[in-house]
Amino acid sequence: MREKFELDFLGQYYASIINEEQSGSFSLTVHLKEALNSKHLKEALLDLKEQFPFLSGQLRKNFFCYEYEVIPNEALNMLSEDSLKLTNQETVSNQQVLKVIYGTFHFSVEVNHTLCDGRTLMKITKFLVTQYFERLGIKKEKEKISDSHYSQDSEYLENAYLHFSNSNDEKKRHTKKAVPLKEKAYRPSVSVNAPIQTLTFKLSATKVKEAAKGYQATITEYLLAMILKGISIERAYFRDEAPIIASIPMDCRSFFPTETMRNFVSAQTIRMPESEAIETMIEKIKAQFSNIDQDLIYEDFSSLQKMYQQTRYVPRKFKDLYMKRMQKKEASKYTTGLSNLGMISFPDSILNQIDFMEFSIDTVGETPYYFSCITVGDVLTLKATIVVDDTILINELEKSLNQKFGMFY
Question: What is the 3-state secondary structure of 190-238?
Answer: CCCCCCEEEEEEEEEHHHHHHHHHHCCCCHHHHHHHHHHHHHHHHHHHC
Residue 141, domain member (yes or no):
yes
> Which domain does 390 fall in, by range?
178-293+326-405
C-alpha distances out from residue 155 to 81, 264, 359, Å: 34, 13, 26
pLDDT recorded at residue 173: 54
Q: If pLDDT is split at 50, 70 and 90, which confidence band does 87 have?
A: low
Distance CA 10, CA 289 (A): 23
pLDDT recorded at residue 327: 83
| Co-location of 337 and 195 in the same domain | yes
Question: Of 119, 143, 166, which closes a domain?
Answer: 166
| Co-location of 332 and 247 in the same domain | yes
Q: If pLDDT is split at 50, 70 and 90, which confidence band does 83 have?
A: confident
Residue 319, domain member (yes or no):
no
Q: What is the mean pLDDT of residues 15-36?
A: 85
pLDDT recorded at residue 149: 47
pLDDT recorded at residue 19: 63
Residue 87: give its domain's CATH number: 3.30.559.10
Overall domain count for the chain = 2
Q: What is the mean pLDDT of residues 134-140?
A: 86
The DSSP symbol for 55 reads G
Greatest alpha-carbon pair distance for the chain in Å reads 61
Q: If pLDDT is split at 50, 70 and 90, which confidence band does 184 have?
A: confident
| Co-location of 123 and 21 in the same domain | yes
Q: Is the pLDDT of residue 150 over 50?
A: no
Question: Of 107, 140, 166, which closes a domain?
Answer: 166
Helices and strands counted in the chain (H then E):
15, 14
| Co-location of 136 and 204 in the same domain | no
pLDDT recorded at residue 399: 92
Residue 224 half-sphere exposure toward CB, CA atoms < 13 A:
30
Tell me phi and psi for residue 174, to 5 degrees.
-90, 85
Residue 288: give its domain's CATH number: 3.30.559.30
Q: Is the pLDDT of residue 22 over 80?
A: no
Q: For the ranges 101-105, 122-126, 201-205, 308-312, which has the lowest average pLDDT?
A: 308-312
What residues contact 185, with CB distance under 8 A and at least 6 apart? 242, 243, 244, 245, 332, 333, 334, 335
pTM: 0.91
